[in-house]
Amino acid sequence: MSAPADASKTLASANRFSPVALRNNAGVLQYARSSLAFISGAAAGILGLEGWLHGFLFYVASSLVLSLILWLKTGFNPKRYFPTPDMLWVHEVAGNAFSYLLFWTLAYGLVHVYD
């Protein structure tokens, strides 16, 4: 059987990733996101943000800034480092939301509740 020309072309020219390097990249991404959850949560608490909307927007905005910086660092080509390009934008954002909540609450409590 003969494969269709365009399909086989994409098959042969598909990126081949080294699993070790992929795991390392995912680890770096996770490390950055964890730090971000910690720092942005503390910042939101110190700023005294209140309500789901403000906190959520702040977290999304800071995640977006981090993603933009990482995007810059990949040379605007995340496909070279991640199997899917959207991994750079969404990976572990939801997973670290609880950490953001924790540090938001902690910093808010320390600064604004206990005088």
Q: What residues line the site for another protein (CB under 8 A)?
A: 1-3, 8, 11-12, 14, 16, 27, 30-31, 33-35, 37-38, 44-45, 48-52, 55, 95-96, 98-106, 108-110, 112-115
The number of residues making up the chain comes to 115
Cα torsion 62, 35, 84, 56: sign:
negative
66's tokens: 């981090």
Q: Find, among 35, 6, 29, 13, the residue nearest to 78 by Cα.
A: 29
Looking at the Cβ atoms of 30 and 74, the one nearer to another protein is: 30
CB of 77 to another protein, least distance (A): 19
Q: How far is the CB of 80 from another protein (least distance, A)?
A: 16
In the block, tokens 């910690």 appear at 38
Give the nearer residue to another protein in terms of CB position, either 57 or 72: 57
Nearer to another protein, 79 or 112 (CB): 112
Which stretch of DSSP H or E encloses residue 67?
Answer: helix 52-73
